[in-house]
Amino acid sequence: MTANFIAGKISLNERVHRTHGNGMSFHVHYWGVMPKHYDNVPHKHSFFEVCYVLEGKGTYIDEGRPYPVKENTLFLSRPEVLHHIKSDRGLFLLYLGFELIESESSEKWITLIEEAKRCSEVVIDVKEDGTAPLIWKSLLNHAIKSEDAFFEEILTNLAHSLILSLINTFVLPLNYYHQKAVQKTSSLTLNLAKLYIKDNLANSIKLTDTATHLHLSSRHLSRLFKTELGVSYSEYVQNERIQRAAILLKTTDLSITDIAQETGFPNVHYFTRIFTVLMRNSPGRFRTLYTKLKTTAYKD
């Protein structure tokens, strides 16, 4: 492992000096692998440095405050902050120095990096199979496989992912994670509900049916439609039925009775009444108007 990581470090220092993606660019000053790091003198950087302890025990001193570090500890050195490391037996360290290229990054990322400079948690214990450790090790191992197809692309993408993962570890507050996770989960659930409705319009698809299919409570699913779409579940389903009926009227020769059945209405009379209210034309009139407009368009 040690030999491969050192070879990987050399390759990275030759090949990866800049990463870019998702609205931000980073300049990488150096990639480091140090199998036996003992003490160093207090010093500062004008950029960020992150170290990951693979083996050993020691102390990281940040602005005079000592933090114990050991295997699977990440520690962050912020710009212009005096820091140094002490270890009696030596630490096996992976480390890198980087900074944001502000001229190539969005305001959001400039603000986020400013938050990182004021980060209060500078030493964090992580799991060996956590995101950042796994990416870091994979990056070093991949860096020596220059014969692989897409070698450069994979290398720079892994490097960029590592930096994002490290920033993610130290900077973003827990409530930000929670809000984003809830939002993404809710949107995914809503999309699954909409897909289920679309694929089953010919059936009854009551709220309880869709909720059961998605392993949710009816109350929770109903709330999702109201909060994210601004309509009730039943309103959404009815609108989807009418939109589907309109497409069938425009594009097929199916009878109105067949279209009512195809879109899940209990009978043709109810379908006609609802369609007329929402589309301001009866199904027959709607089809006639569309056909005439289509014919006129062909004549033009």
Calculate mean pLDDT across residues 10-34: 95
What SS3 class is residue 129? coil
pLDDT at 293 over 70: no
What's the pLDDT score for residue 292? 59
Calculate mean pLDDT across residues 283-290: 87
* pLDDT bucket at 180, cuts 50 / 70 / 90: low
* pLDDT bucket at 122, cuts 50 / 70 / 90: very high
Contact 3, 86 (CB under 8 A): no
Contact 85, 40 (CB under 8 A): yes
Domains plus CATH for the chain? Answer: 2-172 (2.60.120.10), 182-299 (1.10.10.60)
What's the pLDDT score for residue 119? 84
pLDDT at 26 over 70: yes
Would you say the C-alpha torsion 154, 159, 162, 168 has a positive or negative sign?
Answer: negative
As a whole number, the mean pLDDT across the chain is 89
Interior/surface letters 205-220, b for 16+ CB within 10 angstroms, e for the rest: bebeebbeebebeeee
Give percent of the chain with pLDDT exceeding 90.
73
- The per-residue pLDDT for range 228-278, each reduced to its tens digit, is 888 999 999 999 999 999 999 988 999 999 999 999 999 999 999 999 999
* pLDDT bucket at 186, cuts 50 / 70 / 90: low
What's the pLDDT score for residue 183? 53
- Would the pTM of this model clear 0.85, i.e. be above it? no
Calculate mean pLDDT across residues 275-293: 85
- The per-residue pLDDT for range 87-118, each reduced to its tens digit, is 999 999 999 999 999 999 998 899 889 888 88
Distances from the Cα of 266 to the Cα of 235, 242, 245, angstroms: 16, 13, 14
* pLDDT bucket at 181, cuts 50 / 70 / 90: low
